Amino acid sequence: MIRGVAGSGKTLILVWRAKLLSKAHPEWKILVLCYNISLANGIRQMINQKLSEPEDLWDFDFTTDEGVNSITN
């Protein structure tokens, strides 16, 4: 459970924790609970975005069109 005042980074911590757990234990199903559908959709998008990001800046391939598009967007 994560608690804190508004704007303290609770959702960001949750997203990073979900990413770390999924990388450490790919066989696990990770459940994230929250109070409303719009927040759940936002968290889902954030988690999917974090999972698609490179682990390290040096892992990013700047030579592809995909790399160039993600920098400009």
Spell out the domain ranges in the chain: 9-53
- Would the pLDDT of 49 be above 80? yes
| Angle (nearest 5°) at CA 19 between 15 and 21 | 115
pLDDT of residue 62: 65
pLDDT of residue 35: 87
Q: Is 15 exposed, middle or buried (0-12, 13-18, 19+ CB in 10 A)?
A: buried
pLDDT of residue 60: 61
Average confidence (pLDDT) over 11-27: 90
**Residue of higher predicted confidence among 21 and 59:** 21
**Residue of higher predicted confidence among 58 and 71:** 58
Token code pair at residue 32: 């994230």
